[in-house]
Amino acid sequence: MKKALIITLLSLISYSLAFAQTAEDALRYSRVFYSGTARFNGLSGAFGAVGADFSTLAINPAGIGLYKASEITLTLAPNISYSSTNYNGTISTDDKVSMGFGNFGVIFSINPYTRNKSGVLKNINIGFGFNRQNDFNNHVAINGINTKNSLMQSYANILNEERTPEQYVQEDFPFDIGLAYATNLVYHDSATDKYYCDAMYGGVIQNKFIDTYGSMNELDFSIGANFSDKLFVGMTFGVPTINYYENSIYKETRTADTIPNFISLSFTNNLHTRGTGINFKLGIIYKPADWVRFGASVHTPTWYPSMRDQWSSSMESRFTNSDWNAYAYSPLAYYDYSLTTPFRALGSMAFIIGQYGLISTDYEYVNYSQARFNSSEDDFKTINDQISADYKSWGNIRVGTEWRLSNFRIRGGFGYFSNPYNRGTNDSERFQASGGFGYRAKKFFADVTYVWSKMTQNYYLYDETMVNPANISYYTNTISTTIGFRF
Protein backbone atom coordinates (compact mmCIF):
# COMPACT_ATOMS: atom_id res chain seq x y z
CA MET A 1 0.00 0.00 0.00
CA LYS A 2 1.30 3.45 -0.90
CA LYS A 3 2.86 5.81 1.59
CA ALA A 4 -0.21 7.99 1.12
CA LEU A 5 -1.92 5.66 3.62
CA ILE A 6 -2.11 7.72 6.80
CA ILE A 7 -3.50 7.58 10.29
CA THR A 8 -6.84 9.37 10.30
CA LEU A 9 -7.47 12.43 12.32
CA LEU A 10 -9.90 12.00 15.17
CA SER A 11 -12.46 14.19 13.45
CA LEU A 12 -12.37 12.01 10.35
CA ILE A 13 -12.63 8.78 12.31
CA SER A 14 -15.62 9.87 14.36
CA TYR A 15 -17.88 10.23 11.33
CA SER A 16 -17.31 6.92 9.61
CA LEU A 17 -16.49 4.72 12.56
CA ALA A 18 -19.76 5.35 14.31
CA PHE A 19 -21.15 3.00 11.68
CA ALA A 20 -18.30 0.50 11.63
CA GLN A 21 -19.83 -1.93 14.11
CA THR A 22 -22.88 -3.82 12.90
CA ALA A 23 -25.47 -6.18 14.32
CA GLU A 24 -23.66 -8.98 12.48
CA ASP A 25 -20.49 -8.24 14.47
CA ALA A 26 -22.39 -8.59 17.74
CA LEU A 27 -23.81 -11.94 16.61
CA ARG A 28 -20.40 -13.22 15.50
CA TYR A 29 -18.93 -12.77 18.97
CA SER A 30 -22.08 -13.89 20.82
CA ARG A 31 -22.43 -17.30 19.17
CA VAL A 32 -20.33 -19.94 20.89
CA PHE A 33 -19.61 -23.34 19.33
CA TYR A 34 -17.82 -24.98 22.23
CA SER A 35 -14.78 -27.09 21.49
CA GLY A 36 -12.18 -28.67 23.70
CA THR A 37 -11.12 -32.24 24.38
CA ALA A 38 -11.77 -35.00 21.87
CA ARG A 39 -14.00 -36.78 24.37
CA PHE A 40 -16.11 -33.63 24.83
CA ASN A 41 -16.32 -33.17 21.05
CA GLY A 42 -17.21 -36.84 20.58
CA LEU A 43 -20.45 -36.25 22.51
CA SER A 44 -20.99 -32.93 20.61
CA GLY A 45 -20.48 -31.07 23.88
CA ALA A 46 -23.36 -32.74 25.76
CA PHE A 47 -21.38 -32.78 29.01
CA GLY A 48 -23.34 -30.51 31.33
CA ALA A 49 -24.35 -33.39 33.63
CA VAL A 50 -21.49 -35.81 32.88
CA GLY A 51 -18.50 -33.92 34.25
CA ALA A 52 -14.92 -35.08 34.86
CA ASP A 53 -13.67 -33.57 31.58
CA PHE A 54 -11.65 -30.37 31.35
CA SER A 55 -13.98 -28.83 28.75
CA THR A 56 -16.83 -28.80 31.29
CA LEU A 57 -15.16 -25.81 32.94
CA ALA A 58 -16.59 -23.73 30.08
CA ILE A 59 -20.04 -25.41 30.13
CA ASN A 60 -20.89 -26.42 33.69
CA PRO A 61 -18.05 -25.86 36.17
CA ALA A 62 -19.66 -28.31 38.60
CA GLY A 63 -18.18 -30.99 36.35
CA ILE A 64 -14.77 -30.34 37.90
CA GLY A 65 -16.14 -31.69 41.17
CA LEU A 66 -16.38 -35.22 39.74
CA TYR A 67 -12.61 -35.55 39.35
CA LYS A 68 -10.99 -38.10 41.66
CA ALA A 69 -7.38 -37.46 40.56
CA SER A 70 -5.22 -34.68 39.14
CA GLU A 71 -4.96 -34.48 35.37
CA ILE A 72 -3.28 -32.66 32.48
CA THR A 73 -4.68 -32.61 28.92
CA LEU A 74 -3.71 -31.26 25.51
CA THR A 75 -5.85 -31.26 22.37
CA LEU A 76 -4.84 -30.59 18.76
CA ALA A 77 -7.69 -29.79 16.37
CA PRO A 78 -6.81 -29.28 12.67
CA ASN A 79 -9.75 -28.01 10.67
CA ILE A 80 -10.77 -28.23 6.99
CA SER A 81 -13.48 -25.73 6.04
CA TYR A 82 -15.41 -25.76 2.79
CA SER A 83 -17.96 -23.31 1.38
CA SER A 84 -20.43 -23.51 -1.48
CA THR A 85 -22.15 -20.37 -2.79
CA ASN A 86 -25.07 -19.86 -5.17
CA TYR A 87 -25.34 -16.31 -6.49
CA ASN A 88 -27.76 -15.61 -9.33
CA GLY A 89 -27.51 -19.23 -10.44
CA THR A 90 -23.72 -19.48 -10.43
CA ILE A 91 -22.17 -22.03 -8.04
CA SER A 92 -18.76 -21.29 -6.50
CA THR A 93 -16.74 -23.29 -4.02
CA ASP A 94 -13.67 -22.69 -1.87
CA ASP A 95 -11.86 -24.39 0.99
CA LYS A 96 -9.26 -23.75 3.68
CA VAL A 97 -7.05 -25.84 5.96
CA SER A 98 -6.02 -24.51 9.37
CA MET A 99 -4.29 -25.81 12.47
CA GLY A 100 -5.43 -25.09 15.99
CA PHE A 101 -5.54 -26.09 19.62
CA GLY A 102 -8.78 -27.39 21.08
CA ASN A 103 -7.69 -26.98 24.67
CA PHE A 104 -4.96 -27.23 27.24
CA GLY A 105 -5.68 -27.69 30.92
CA VAL A 106 -4.56 -28.89 34.33
CA ILE A 107 -6.74 -30.17 37.19
CA PHE A 108 -5.45 -30.45 40.74
CA SER A 109 -7.49 -32.72 43.01
CA ILE A 110 -7.41 -32.38 46.78
CA ASN A 111 -9.01 -35.20 48.77
CA PRO A 112 -9.61 -34.22 52.42
CA TYR A 113 -11.86 -37.27 52.94
CA THR A 114 -8.93 -39.65 52.37
CA ARG A 115 -7.05 -38.03 55.25
CA ASN A 116 -9.94 -37.56 57.68
CA LYS A 117 -12.22 -40.47 56.72
CA SER A 118 -15.16 -38.31 57.77
CA GLY A 119 -17.35 -35.44 56.60
CA VAL A 120 -19.45 -34.85 53.53
CA LEU A 121 -16.70 -33.04 51.59
CA LYS A 122 -15.10 -35.69 49.38
CA ASN A 123 -13.03 -33.59 46.97
CA ILE A 124 -11.95 -30.04 46.27
CA ASN A 125 -10.62 -29.59 42.73
CA ILE A 126 -8.92 -26.64 41.11
CA GLY A 127 -8.42 -26.26 37.35
CA PHE A 128 -7.02 -23.77 34.86
CA GLY A 129 -6.30 -23.71 31.14
CA PHE A 130 -8.08 -22.68 27.94
CA ASN A 131 -10.90 -23.97 25.74
CA ARG A 132 -11.67 -22.94 22.18
CA GLN A 133 -15.08 -21.33 21.74
CA ASN A 134 -15.16 -20.42 18.05
CA ASP A 135 -13.09 -20.86 14.92
CA PHE A 136 -13.23 -18.12 12.28
CA ASN A 137 -11.17 -19.83 9.58
CA ASN A 138 -13.02 -19.79 6.25
CA HIS A 139 -12.70 -19.03 2.55
CA VAL A 140 -15.75 -17.87 0.59
CA ALA A 141 -16.00 -17.20 -3.15
CA ILE A 142 -19.06 -15.46 -4.65
CA ASN A 143 -19.45 -15.20 -8.43
CA GLY A 144 -22.35 -14.24 -10.66
CA ILE A 145 -23.75 -11.89 -13.30
CA ASN A 146 -25.90 -8.93 -12.32
CA THR A 147 -28.12 -7.64 -15.13
CA LYS A 148 -29.92 -4.99 -13.03
CA ASN A 149 -27.42 -2.74 -11.23
CA SER A 150 -23.94 -2.51 -9.75
CA LEU A 151 -22.11 -1.54 -6.57
CA MET A 152 -21.43 1.82 -8.19
CA GLN A 153 -25.17 2.47 -8.56
CA SER A 154 -25.74 1.75 -4.86
CA TYR A 155 -23.07 4.36 -4.09
CA ALA A 156 -24.70 6.90 -6.40
CA ASN A 157 -28.07 6.24 -4.75
CA ILE A 158 -26.64 6.97 -1.30
CA LEU A 159 -25.06 10.24 -2.44
CA ASN A 160 -28.28 11.33 -4.14
CA GLU A 161 -30.45 10.41 -1.16
CA GLU A 162 -28.21 12.28 1.27
CA ARG A 163 -27.63 15.13 -1.21
CA THR A 164 -23.94 15.10 -0.37
CA PRO A 165 -22.07 18.14 -1.76
CA GLU A 166 -19.36 17.11 -4.21
CA GLN A 167 -16.56 18.66 -2.13
CA TYR A 168 -17.49 16.51 0.89
CA VAL A 169 -17.80 13.07 -0.73
CA GLN A 170 -14.25 11.92 0.05
CA GLU A 171 -14.30 13.44 3.51
CA ASP A 172 -17.66 11.94 4.49
CA PHE A 173 -17.07 8.46 2.99
CA PRO A 174 -13.31 7.85 3.18
CA PHE A 175 -13.53 4.03 3.21
CA ASP A 176 -15.86 3.24 0.30
CA ILE A 177 -17.86 5.84 -1.67
CA GLY A 178 -15.10 8.41 -1.40
CA LEU A 179 -12.69 5.93 -2.99
CA ALA A 180 -15.16 5.26 -5.82
CA TYR A 181 -15.48 9.00 -6.40
CA ALA A 182 -11.69 9.44 -6.40
CA THR A 183 -11.32 6.70 -9.04
CA ASN A 184 -14.15 8.10 -11.25
CA LEU A 185 -16.50 5.17 -10.62
CA VAL A 186 -19.18 7.62 -9.51
CA TYR A 187 -19.31 11.19 -10.78
CA HIS A 188 -21.36 14.32 -10.30
CA ASP A 189 -23.38 16.02 -13.06
CA SER A 190 -23.64 19.71 -12.26
CA ALA A 191 -26.51 20.17 -14.73
CA THR A 192 -28.82 17.82 -12.81
CA ASP A 193 -27.00 18.08 -9.47
CA LYS A 194 -27.03 14.27 -9.26
CA TYR A 195 -24.50 11.46 -9.08
CA TYR A 196 -24.22 8.77 -11.77
CA CYS A 197 -22.13 5.75 -12.72
CA ASP A 198 -21.37 3.90 -15.95
CA ALA A 199 -22.95 0.54 -15.06
CA MET A 200 -26.18 1.84 -13.56
CA TYR A 201 -28.20 -0.92 -15.31
CA GLY A 202 -25.87 -3.78 -14.49
CA GLY A 203 -24.31 -5.96 -17.14
CA VAL A 204 -21.38 -6.81 -14.88
CA ILE A 205 -19.77 -9.97 -13.54
CA GLN A 206 -19.57 -9.62 -9.77
CA ASN A 207 -16.99 -11.50 -7.69
CA LYS A 208 -16.18 -11.37 -4.02
CA PHE A 209 -13.53 -13.39 -2.21
CA ILE A 210 -13.62 -13.38 1.59
CA ASP A 211 -10.83 -14.81 3.73
CA THR A 212 -11.48 -14.94 7.48
CA TYR A 213 -9.25 -16.37 10.16
CA GLY A 214 -8.67 -16.22 13.89
CA SER A 215 -10.53 -17.64 16.87
CA MET A 216 -12.25 -17.08 20.22
CA ASN A 217 -10.51 -18.79 23.12
CA GLU A 218 -11.28 -18.64 26.81
CA LEU A 219 -8.90 -18.90 29.75
CA ASP A 220 -10.77 -20.70 32.51
CA PHE A 221 -9.95 -20.65 36.22
CA SER A 222 -12.23 -22.99 38.17
CA ILE A 223 -12.87 -24.51 41.56
CA GLY A 224 -15.31 -27.29 42.36
CA ALA A 225 -16.33 -29.52 45.21
CA ASN A 226 -17.86 -32.96 45.75
CA PHE A 227 -20.30 -33.42 48.64
CA SER A 228 -21.08 -37.02 49.54
CA ASP A 229 -20.76 -38.11 45.89
CA LYS A 230 -24.27 -36.69 45.44
CA LEU A 231 -23.93 -32.97 45.02
CA PHE A 232 -21.26 -31.27 42.94
CA VAL A 233 -20.81 -27.50 42.68
CA GLY A 234 -18.36 -25.35 40.78
CA MET A 235 -17.45 -21.84 39.69
CA THR A 236 -15.42 -20.61 36.72
CA PHE A 237 -13.85 -17.22 36.13
CA GLY A 238 -13.51 -16.91 32.36
CA VAL A 239 -11.27 -14.60 30.34
CA PRO A 240 -12.29 -14.93 26.67
CA THR A 241 -10.18 -13.40 23.91
CA ILE A 242 -11.25 -12.46 20.39
CA ASN A 243 -8.87 -12.33 17.45
CA TYR A 244 -10.70 -11.94 14.14
CA TYR A 245 -9.31 -11.09 10.69
CA GLU A 246 -11.30 -10.50 7.52
CA ASN A 247 -9.73 -9.69 4.17
CA SER A 248 -11.98 -9.33 1.14
CA ILE A 249 -11.71 -8.37 -2.51
CA TYR A 250 -14.81 -7.33 -4.45
CA LYS A 251 -14.61 -7.06 -8.24
CA GLU A 252 -16.89 -5.99 -11.07
CA THR A 253 -16.09 -6.53 -14.73
CA ARG A 254 -18.31 -5.63 -17.67
CA THR A 255 -19.79 -8.57 -19.55
CA ALA A 256 -19.61 -6.79 -22.93
CA ASP A 257 -18.41 -3.50 -24.40
CA THR A 258 -21.96 -2.12 -24.42
CA ILE A 259 -21.20 -0.28 -21.16
CA PRO A 260 -19.45 2.96 -22.12
CA ASN A 261 -16.02 3.66 -20.66
CA PHE A 262 -16.12 1.22 -17.72
CA ILE A 263 -14.06 -1.98 -17.82
CA SER A 264 -13.59 -3.11 -14.21
CA LEU A 265 -13.22 -2.18 -10.55
CA SER A 266 -11.54 -3.83 -7.57
CA PHE A 267 -12.44 -2.95 -3.97
CA THR A 268 -10.28 -4.34 -1.14
CA ASN A 269 -11.10 -4.34 2.59
CA ASN A 270 -8.94 -5.42 5.53
CA LEU A 271 -10.27 -5.71 9.10
CA HIS A 272 -8.71 -6.87 12.35
CA THR A 273 -10.78 -7.05 15.54
CA ARG A 274 -9.40 -8.01 18.92
CA GLY A 275 -10.65 -7.87 22.46
CA THR A 276 -10.46 -9.43 25.91
CA GLY A 277 -13.41 -9.96 28.23
CA ILE A 278 -14.50 -11.44 31.54
CA ASN A 279 -17.39 -13.59 32.74
CA PHE A 280 -18.43 -15.90 35.55
CA LYS A 281 -20.07 -19.31 35.45
CA LEU A 282 -21.82 -21.13 38.29
CA GLY A 283 -22.91 -24.75 38.09
CA ILE A 284 -24.43 -27.64 39.95
CA ILE A 285 -24.74 -31.38 39.31
CA TYR A 286 -27.00 -33.56 41.42
CA LYS A 287 -26.89 -37.36 41.42
CA PRO A 288 -30.03 -38.71 43.15
CA ALA A 289 -29.15 -42.25 42.04
CA ASP A 290 -26.18 -43.93 40.41
CA TRP A 291 -28.00 -44.17 37.08
CA VAL A 292 -29.04 -40.52 36.61
CA ARG A 293 -27.51 -37.06 36.96
CA PHE A 294 -29.04 -33.59 36.59
CA GLY A 295 -27.02 -30.49 35.84
CA ALA A 296 -27.65 -26.75 35.62
CA SER A 297 -25.43 -23.73 35.10
CA VAL A 298 -25.65 -20.02 34.43
CA HIS A 299 -23.16 -17.85 32.55
CA THR A 300 -23.11 -14.13 33.21
CA PRO A 301 -22.98 -11.83 30.18
CA THR A 302 -19.44 -11.51 28.87
CA TRP A 303 -18.13 -7.96 29.05
CA TYR A 304 -15.44 -6.92 26.57
CA PRO A 305 -14.31 -3.49 27.83
CA SER A 306 -11.47 -3.00 25.35
CA MET A 307 -12.53 -4.06 21.87
CA ARG A 308 -10.50 -2.55 19.04
CA ASP A 309 -11.09 -2.52 15.29
CA GLN A 310 -8.37 -1.67 12.79
CA TRP A 311 -9.20 -1.47 9.10
CA SER A 312 -8.39 0.04 5.73
CA SER A 313 -9.60 -0.20 2.15
CA SER A 314 -8.56 0.60 -1.38
CA MET A 315 -10.19 0.97 -4.80
CA GLU A 316 -8.91 0.42 -8.32
CA SER A 317 -10.71 1.27 -11.56
CA ARG A 318 -10.05 0.72 -15.24
CA PHE A 319 -11.63 2.55 -18.19
CA THR A 320 -11.45 2.26 -21.97
CA ASN A 321 -10.41 5.88 -22.40
CA SER A 322 -7.30 5.56 -20.24
CA ASP A 323 -4.08 3.60 -20.57
CA TRP A 324 -3.60 3.44 -16.82
CA ASN A 325 -5.62 2.32 -13.82
CA ALA A 326 -6.83 4.73 -11.17
CA TYR A 327 -6.07 3.94 -7.51
CA ALA A 328 -7.32 5.36 -4.22
CA TYR A 329 -6.47 4.39 -0.65
CA SER A 330 -8.32 4.97 2.57
CA PRO A 331 -6.74 6.10 5.82
CA LEU A 332 -5.72 3.45 8.33
CA ALA A 333 -8.43 3.60 10.97
CA TYR A 334 -8.67 2.53 14.59
CA TYR A 335 -11.66 2.48 16.89
CA ASP A 336 -12.07 1.43 20.52
CA TYR A 337 -15.39 0.39 22.03
CA SER A 338 -16.96 -2.13 24.40
CA LEU A 339 -19.25 -5.09 23.79
CA THR A 340 -21.50 -7.10 26.08
CA THR A 341 -22.67 -10.52 24.88
CA PRO A 342 -25.76 -12.33 26.22
CA PHE A 343 -26.45 -14.25 29.41
CA ARG A 344 -26.66 -18.05 29.08
CA ALA A 345 -28.37 -20.81 31.03
CA LEU A 346 -27.95 -24.56 30.60
CA GLY A 347 -29.99 -27.51 31.76
CA SER A 348 -28.58 -31.04 31.46
CA MET A 349 -29.42 -34.69 32.10
CA ALA A 350 -27.31 -37.83 31.86
CA PHE A 351 -28.25 -41.48 32.21
CA ILE A 352 -25.44 -43.77 33.39
CA ILE A 353 -25.95 -47.35 32.22
CA GLY A 354 -23.88 -49.24 34.75
CA GLN A 355 -20.32 -49.90 33.61
CA TYR A 356 -21.41 -49.99 29.98
CA GLY A 357 -21.96 -46.39 28.93
CA LEU A 358 -24.00 -43.21 29.17
CA ILE A 359 -26.47 -41.04 27.27
CA SER A 360 -26.56 -37.30 27.90
CA THR A 361 -28.31 -34.19 26.66
CA ASP A 362 -27.92 -30.42 27.13
CA TYR A 363 -30.26 -27.54 26.43
CA GLU A 364 -28.70 -24.09 26.27
CA TYR A 365 -30.74 -20.90 26.40
CA VAL A 366 -29.27 -17.74 24.92
CA ASN A 367 -31.01 -14.59 23.68
CA TYR A 368 -28.85 -12.94 21.02
CA SER A 369 -31.00 -9.80 21.03
CA GLN A 370 -29.39 -8.88 24.38
CA ALA A 371 -25.94 -8.10 22.91
CA ARG A 372 -24.96 -4.44 23.22
CA PHE A 373 -22.25 -2.11 21.92
CA ASN A 374 -21.12 0.89 23.92
CA SER A 375 -18.61 3.71 23.64
CA SER A 376 -17.82 6.91 25.50
CA GLU A 377 -17.49 8.72 22.16
CA ASP A 378 -20.49 7.55 20.15
CA ASP A 379 -24.15 6.68 20.56
CA PHE A 380 -24.86 3.06 19.57
CA LYS A 381 -28.62 3.31 20.07
CA THR A 382 -29.45 2.72 16.40
CA ILE A 383 -27.29 -0.40 16.14
CA ASN A 384 -28.42 -1.73 19.53
CA ASP A 385 -32.05 -1.24 18.51
CA GLN A 386 -31.30 -3.18 15.33
CA ILE A 387 -29.79 -6.03 17.39
CA SER A 388 -32.95 -6.14 19.51
CA ALA A 389 -35.13 -6.25 16.41
CA ASP A 390 -33.10 -8.62 14.23
CA TYR A 391 -32.27 -11.40 16.69
CA LYS A 392 -34.24 -13.72 18.93
CA SER A 393 -33.94 -16.46 21.50
CA TRP A 394 -34.66 -20.12 21.04
CA GLY A 395 -31.85 -22.30 22.24
CA ASN A 396 -29.30 -24.95 21.34
CA ILE A 397 -29.54 -28.70 21.89
CA ARG A 398 -26.72 -31.21 22.21
CA VAL A 399 -27.06 -34.98 22.58
CA GLY A 400 -24.24 -37.48 23.08
CA THR A 401 -23.46 -41.04 24.05
CA GLU A 402 -20.41 -43.05 25.11
CA TRP A 403 -19.99 -46.82 25.39
CA ARG A 404 -17.30 -48.81 27.13
CA LEU A 405 -15.49 -51.88 25.77
CA SER A 406 -12.86 -52.80 28.36
CA ASN A 407 -10.33 -49.93 28.22
CA PHE A 408 -11.77 -48.56 24.98
CA ARG A 409 -14.57 -46.03 24.42
CA ILE A 410 -16.86 -45.43 21.45
CA ARG A 411 -18.66 -42.07 21.21
CA GLY A 412 -21.18 -40.22 19.10
CA GLY A 413 -23.15 -37.00 19.27
CA PHE A 414 -25.37 -34.46 17.57
CA GLY A 415 -25.77 -30.72 18.05
CA TYR A 416 -28.38 -28.26 16.82
CA PHE A 417 -27.78 -24.51 17.07
CA SER A 418 -31.00 -22.67 16.26
CA ASN A 419 -31.44 -19.81 13.83
CA PRO A 420 -30.63 -16.58 15.71
CA TYR A 421 -32.50 -14.30 13.28
CA ASN A 422 -35.89 -12.84 14.04
CA ARG A 423 -36.60 -11.92 10.43
CA GLY A 424 -36.90 -13.99 7.29
CA THR A 425 -33.94 -12.41 5.45
CA ASN A 426 -31.49 -14.94 6.84
CA ASP A 427 -31.16 -18.39 8.34
CA SER A 428 -28.05 -19.50 10.21
CA GLU A 429 -29.06 -22.82 11.73
CA ARG A 430 -26.06 -25.01 12.42
CA PHE A 431 -26.09 -28.79 12.52
CA GLN A 432 -23.26 -30.83 14.00
CA ALA A 433 -22.52 -34.56 14.09
CA SER A 434 -19.59 -36.24 15.76
CA GLY A 435 -18.05 -39.63 16.35
CA GLY A 436 -14.89 -40.92 17.95
CA PHE A 437 -13.12 -43.42 20.10
CA GLY A 438 -10.66 -43.45 22.96
CA TYR A 439 -8.39 -45.50 25.15
CA ARG A 440 -8.26 -45.05 28.92
CA ALA A 441 -5.75 -46.58 31.31
CA LYS A 442 -5.10 -45.76 34.95
CA LYS A 443 -2.50 -43.03 34.33
CA PHE A 444 -2.92 -42.26 30.63
CA PHE A 445 -5.69 -41.67 28.11
CA ALA A 446 -5.96 -40.78 24.42
CA ASP A 447 -9.00 -39.83 22.34
CA VAL A 448 -9.72 -39.06 18.68
CA THR A 449 -12.91 -37.46 17.34
CA TYR A 450 -14.23 -36.34 13.97
CA VAL A 451 -16.74 -33.47 13.96
CA TRP A 452 -18.77 -32.43 10.90
CA SER A 453 -20.91 -29.31 10.84
CA LYS A 454 -23.00 -27.35 8.37
CA MET A 455 -24.39 -23.82 8.52
CA THR A 456 -26.21 -21.77 5.89
CA GLN A 457 -26.35 -18.01 5.51
CA ASN A 458 -27.66 -15.38 3.11
CA TYR A 459 -25.02 -12.81 2.21
CA TYR A 460 -25.73 -9.52 0.43
CA LEU A 461 -22.95 -7.93 -1.62
CA TYR A 462 -24.48 -4.51 -0.95
CA ASP A 463 -27.95 -2.97 -0.48
CA GLU A 464 -30.31 -5.94 0.01
CA THR A 465 -33.12 -4.08 -1.78
CA MET A 466 -31.00 -4.06 -4.94
CA VAL A 467 -29.33 -7.48 -5.12
CA ASN A 468 -30.30 -11.09 -4.61
CA PRO A 469 -28.64 -12.80 -1.67
CA ALA A 470 -25.72 -15.13 -2.16
CA ASN A 471 -26.79 -18.39 -0.52
CA ILE A 472 -23.72 -19.73 1.30
CA SER A 473 -23.34 -23.16 2.88
CA TYR A 474 -20.43 -23.58 5.28
CA TYR A 475 -19.03 -27.03 6.06
CA THR A 476 -16.35 -27.79 8.62
CA ASN A 477 -14.44 -31.00 9.22
CA THR A 478 -12.41 -31.15 12.41
CA ILE A 479 -10.31 -34.00 13.75
CA SER A 480 -9.40 -33.46 17.38
CA THR A 481 -6.83 -35.55 19.21
CA THR A 482 -6.40 -35.42 22.98
CA ILE A 483 -3.71 -36.95 25.14
CA GLY A 484 -3.84 -36.80 28.92
CA PHE A 485 -2.07 -37.94 32.04
CA ARG A 486 -3.36 -38.48 35.56
CA PHE A 487 -1.15 -37.98 38.58
pTM for this prediction: 0.89
pLDDT above 90 for 14: no
Distance of CA 390 to the CA centre of its chain: 17
* Helical residues (DSSP H) of 43-176, grouped into ranges: 112-116, 151-162, 169-172
- What percentage of the chain exceeds 90 in pLDDT? 84
pLDDT digits (tens, 9 = 90+) for 193-210: 999 999 888 999 999 999
> In the prediction, which pLDDT does 20 show?
64
> In the prediction, which pLDDT does 115 show?
59
Helix, strand or coil, per DSSP, at residue 116: helix
pLDDT digits (tens, 9 = 90+) for 408-442: 999 999 999 999 998 665 678 999 999 999 999 99
If one compares 4 and 232, the residue with the highest pLDDT of the two is: 232
pLDDT digits (tens, 9 = 90+) for 271-306: 999 999 999 999 999 999 999 999 999 999 999 999
Task: Tell me how far apart the alpha carbons of residues 85 and 275 are, in angstroms, rounded to a whole number.
Answer: 30
> Which of the four pLDDT bands, split at 50, 70 and 90, describes residue 258?
confident
Query: Bridge partners of 391?
Result: 421
> In the prediction, which pLDDT does 323 show?
76
> In the prediction, which pLDDT does 3 show?
31
pLDDT digits (tens, 9 = 90+) for 168-178: 999 999 999 99
What DSSP element (H or E) covers 433?
strand 430-440
Average pLDDT over residues 317-345: 93
> In the prediction, which pLDDT does 163 show?
94
Task: Tell me how far apart the alpha carbons of residues 216 and 339 are, in angstroms, rounded to a whole number.
Answer: 14
pLDDT digits (tens, 9 = 90+) for 55-114: 999 999 999 999 999 999 999 999 999 999 999 999 999 999 998 888 999 999 988 765
What DSSP element (H or E) covers 213?
strand 204-227
DSSP 343: P
Going by C-alpha positions, the residue among 231, 238, 355, 392 that lies closest to residue 296 is 231
> In the prediction, which pLDDT does 427 show?
76
Average pLDDT, the chain: 92
> In the prediction, which pLDDT does 426 show?
66
> In the prediction, which pLDDT does 377 show?
80
> Which of the four pLDDT bands, split at 50, 70 and 90, describes residue 18?
very low
> Which of the four pLDDT bands, split at 50, 70 and 90, describes residue 4?
very low
For the domain covering 10-150+199-486, report its CATH number.
2.40.160.60
Strands 194-196 and 204-227: unpaired
Average pLDDT over residues 379-397: 91
**Residue 162: what are its φ and ψ, rounded to 5°?**
-90, -5
* Residue 366 identity: V
pLDDT above 60 for 131: yes
Average pLDDT over residues 140-148: 96
pLDDT above 80 for 122: yes
> In the prediction, which pLDDT does 21 show?
80
Task: Tell me how far apart the alpha carbons of residues 117 and 292 are, in angstroms, rounded to a whole number.
Answer: 26
pLDDT digits (tens, 9 = 90+) for 218-250: 999 999 999 999 999 999 999 999 999 999 999
* 218 φ/ψ sector (left φ>0, alpha ψ -120 to 50, else beta): beta
> In the prediction, which pLDDT does 370 show?
95
What DSSP element (H or E) covers 121?
strand 121-135
